[in-house]
Chains A and B, each alone.
Chain A
Amino acid sequence: MIERLKAMLVKEFIQVLRDPRMRFVMFVIPVVQTLIFGYAVNTDVREVATAVYDLDNSSQSREIADLFVKSGYFRLEARVYDDKKAQELIDRGEVKAVLRMNRGLSERLVGGRGAQLQMILDGTDSNTAGIALNYASRIVGGYNARLQEEWGARHGGVRTFPGGVELVSRAWFNENLESRNYYVPAVITNIVFIITMLLSSMAVVREKEIGTIEQVIVTPIGKGEFILGKSIPFILIGFINVTIISLVAVFWFEVPLRGSIPLLYLATALFLMSSLGIGLLISTISRTQQQAMMSAFFVLFPAILLSGFAFPIESMPQIVQWFTLVNPMRFFLVIIRAIFQKGVGVDILWPQMAALLLIGVTILSTAVLRFKKTLG
């Protein structure tokens, strides 16, 4: 057993490490992906291109426009003086927001009557529009509070509202709500899934395609020895990928890693049962490496979309949410994010880990049963 396994492993490692494309896929791709997610995928909304449509042109209207720009959330892109021009800028996508203040704004404010200002947003990107609107109301709210204070001071220290409710919010685990902290650790799930599933299925199918499998199955090697020999290198590669991505996340992007590192590896081991199991299953239904690749992508896209990586599972329709329950990525993602940001342990994460174990054992045993050491 040990001797044959050793021979298989030596051979597999030589094959994997001698192929420059394989080395690239294993060591360069994880770093590149982590960098892409760290830099490019940024859902924080800042510097929204804004046009100021100021028909009042008073000290008050200029002050309000200033507040928007100084907040850092809006950037003054243009000043417009008619509807047509404002429309055109939004159509061309040069601005995402228009701040419109009508003539008479300052008069009404000074007179103590309420005034309105209008915020027009480009709703095609609903996410950015919603967040920008939220910032805008906060800015206006702050301005109102100041107006009230000034009004009170001028009228003998009387405040209109002696006491209101003030919202003091604090985001735990990610104080500045940086999307990087959310996405970079999650790259682990994607990379480990893609690389171990794809490479393990292709490693088996390549032997079919080249014909070496025919030579191997006439030897007395056992099915278990063959499968283990094929899997162990990819288990190691999975752990190496977790390590590389974690190092880039922590030391380059300064994403906090608050939880236990052994727990991170234990969860990876549980997840690898599923990803290697799927890889092995694919190899039992594919004859060529191309077929294996097609099947892998067929699994990959729904697995990523239904994992909660980019789109929250809670907002999916109930039926789709049920589908996510068989997706190992979904559970691994919760564990990874919790270990990195919350620093929680097995006491909290055991349900996800149990789910990974159950899914993993099911997939892996199906794959092993289906895997035949005969042809035809």
Chain B
Amino acid sequence: MNGANATTTGESPEAQVSLHELTRRFGDFTAVDRVTLDVARGEIFGFLGPNGAGKSTTIRMLCGILPPSSGSGTVAGYDIATQSEQIKNQIGYMSQKFSLYEELTVEENIDFYSGIYRIPAGKKAERKEWVIEMAGLAEQRGTRAQALSGGWKQRLALGCAVLHEPPIVFLDEPTSGVDPISRRSFWELIYRLSGEGVTIFVTTHYMEEAECCDRLGFIFGGELIALGTPAELKAGFPGQIVEIGCERPFELLQRVESLPGVKSSALFGAGLHLAVENAEQTIAAIGRELPDLDLRMERITPSLEDLFVSFMQAQGRAASS
């Protein structure tokens, strides 16, 4: 497992986003605790963590709308503490609320941001058509934003956020509350932007979305606890995963938790996933201990969700001991 601080320490010339010991406190509460990471140009960086872990606070600091308590960071080469106004020209930002003006039509929303970003007169029409085409809103040009479905709102919000062709885009849980099909087409847009060289910094708690990222950072309790590509993170998983298919997974959960060699366990679909030191030994042990049950047991490659669960349980134990 790569420690958060071992991989990168900022200052890479290619880095579009670079954080060093970035910290934000609200009174006694530390929302973001000494986070250090780099994001390279054109990369899709996924920022993962449970609710309240500090994802949105980090993004707000990077966008220059929340000053850091300590530590430093640069976005597109500008200092987040002192050059937030320059940063604002370089970034697009979209929050989980899809902050559109509900009373305004699709076109009026685009026109508003196009004026705010001072898109040159000659380019305005072209950018507007680009957004409408990208978001698939040709039929809804004159529809008020309040009448759009979640997926359309989300694509329009993204369109407005990248209207001025920013080199870096921050997306704060952009797919929350949107149906899976819209979510997939949204990710196609993200790939398209990334292919054009745009750096994407996205927070999510959907694991299938995390798989789509070039690199991931896990944040928990304000601390960055893991950093790397999905493959690196899985390869670095400390131990093995046993999947158990059974009738009453919840009852079984309590019985297998105490077995030696089981480091963490969680309900997973219709069964259980156990993080163990040695899969063969655990499978054999369960077979011996619970011979009466008809269990389907198998060693599998850890998924990101397994990683996520075991990180969180490990942190939880560390915190309580």
| Bound pair (A, B) | yes
**A146 on the interface (CB 8 Å rule)?**
no
Q: How far is the CA of A191 from the CA of B280 in the complex (A)?
A: 81
Interface residues of B in 176-214 (CB under 8 A from A): none
Contact (Cβ within 8 A) A218 B91: yes
Kindly identify which residue among B63, B97, B103 contacts A218, using a CB–CB cutoff of 8 Å. B63
Name A373's closest neighbour in chain B (CB-CB). Answer: B65
Q: How far is the CA of A221 from the CA of B114 in the complex (A)?
A: 12
Q: Is the interface of A mostly helix, strand, loop or mixed?
A: helix
Most buried by A among B88, B99, B102: B99
**B154 on the interface (CB 8 Å rule)?**
no
Q: How far is the CA of A83 from the CA of B167 in the complex (A)?
A: 94
**A219 on the interface (CB 8 Å rule)?**
yes
**B93 on the interface (CB 8 Å rule)?**
yes
Contact (Cβ within 8 A) B65 A217: yes
Chain B contributes a number of interface residues (CB within 8 A of A) equal to 34
Q: Which residues of A contact B114 (CB under 8 A)?
A: 7
Query: What sequence of 0s and 1s flags, for each residue 62-106 of chain B, a beta carbon within 8 Å of any chain A beta carbon?
Result: 011111000000000000000011001101011101011111100
Kindly identify which residue among B85, B101, B112, B157 contacts A220, using a CB–CB cutoff of 8 Å. B85
Contact status of A376 and B66, CB under 8 A, knowing A4-B115, A14-B103, A211-B99: yes
Chain A contributes a number of interface residues (CB within 8 A of B) equal to 27
Most buried by A among B63, B104, B118: B118
**A319 on the interface (CB 8 Å rule)?**
no
Kindly identify which residue among A4, A19, A213, A375 contacts B116, using a CB–CB cutoff of 8 Å. A4
Kindly identify which residue among A212, A213, A220, A374 contacts B117, using a CB–CB cutoff of 8 Å. A220
Q: How far is the CA of A220 from the CA of B113 in the complex (A)?
A: 11
Q: Which residues of A contact B93 (CB under 8 A)?
A: 215, 218
Q: Which residues of B contact A374 (CB under 8 A)?
A: 64-67, 84
Contact (Cβ within 8 A) B85 A6: no
Q: Which residues of B contact A373 (CB under 8 A)?
A: 65
Q: Which residues of A contact B113 (CB under 8 A)?
A: 7, 219
Query: What sequence of 0s and 1s flags, for each residue 27-61 of chain B, a beta carbon within 8 Å of any chain A beta carbon?
Result: 00000000000000000000000000000000010
Q: Which residues of A contact B84 (CB under 8 A)?
A: 374
Contact (Cβ within 8 A) A7 B67: no
Shortest CB distance A14–B (Å): 6
Shortest CB distance B247–A (Å): 45
**B11 on the interface (CB 8 Å rule)?**
no
Most buried by B among A214, A218, A219: A218
Shortest CB distance B197–A (Å): 21
Q: How far is the CA of A220 from the CA of B95 in the complex (A)?
A: 17
Contact (Cβ within 8 A) A218 B100: no
Contact (Cβ within 8 A) A11 B99: no
Kindly identify which residue among A10, A18, A19, A213 contacts B115, using a CB–CB cutoff of 8 Å. A10
Shortest CB distance A55–B (Å): 74
**B111 on the interface (CB 8 Å rule)?**
yes
Name B86's closest neighbour in chain A (CB-CB). Answer: A220
**B108 on the interface (CB 8 Å rule)?**
yes
Name A7's closest neighbour in chain B (CB-CB). Answer: B115
Shortest CB distance A215–B (Å): 4
Contact (Cβ within 8 A) A11 B101: yes
Contact (Cβ within 8 A) B65 A375: yes
Interface residues of A in 169-217 (CB under 8 A from B): 210-217
Contact (Cβ within 8 A) A212 B65: no
Contact (Cβ within 8 A) A7 B116: yes
Kindly identify which residue among A10, A15, A220 contacts B103, using a CB–CB cutoff of 8 Å. A15
Contact (Cβ within 8 A) B118 A218: no
Q: How far is the CA of A143 from the CA of B117 in the complex (A)?
A: 83
Contact (Cβ within 8 A) A212 B101: yes
Interface residues of B in 132-181 (CB under 8 A from A): 157, 160-161
Shortest CB distance B38–A (Å): 22
Contact (Cβ within 8 A) A211 B95: yes
Contact (Cβ within 8 A) B117 A14: no
Shortest CB distance B147–A (Å): 13
Contact (Cβ within 8 A) A219 B104: no
Contact (Cβ within 8 A) A14 B88: no
Q: How far is the CA of A14 from the CA of B115 in the complex (A)?
A: 15
Q: How far is the CA of A356 from the CA of B168 in the complex (A)?
A: 48
Name A17's closest neighbour in chain B (CB-CB). Answer: B103
Contact status of A214 and B65, CB under 8 A, knowing A219-B88, A221-B116: yes
Name B109's closest neighbour in chain A (CB-CB). Answer: A11
**A347 on the interface (CB 8 Å rule)?**
no
Kindly identify which residue among A6, A18, A215 contacts B95, using a CB–CB cutoff of 8 Å. A215
Shortest CB distance B198–A (Å): 16
Most buried by A among B85, B103, B160: B103
Contact (Cβ within 8 A) A10 B112: yes
List the 6 closest A-B pairs by CB distance, nearest first: A7-B115, A215-B99, A211-B97, A218-B93, A212-B99, A220-B88
Q: Name B residues whose Cβ lies closer than 8 Å to a Cβ of A.
A: 26, 60, 63-67, 84-85, 88-89, 91, 93-95, 97, 99-104, 108, 111-118, 157, 160-161
Task: Knowing that A15-B103, A215-B95, A219-B113 touch, tell me 14 more A-B residue pairs with CB under 8 angstroms.
Answer: A4-B116, A10-B111, A10-B112, A210-B97, A211-B95, A212-B101, A215-B94, A216-B99, A219-B117, A220-B117, A221-B116, A374-B64, A375-B66, A376-B66
Complex A-B: 11 CB contacts under 8 Å:
A7-B115, A7-B116, A8-B112, A8-B115, A15-B104, A212-B101, A215-B99, A217-B65, A220-B116, A220-B117, A375-B65
Q: Name A residues whose Cβ lies closer than 8 Å to a Cβ of B.
A: 3-4, 6-8, 10-11, 14-15, 18-19, 210-221, 373-376
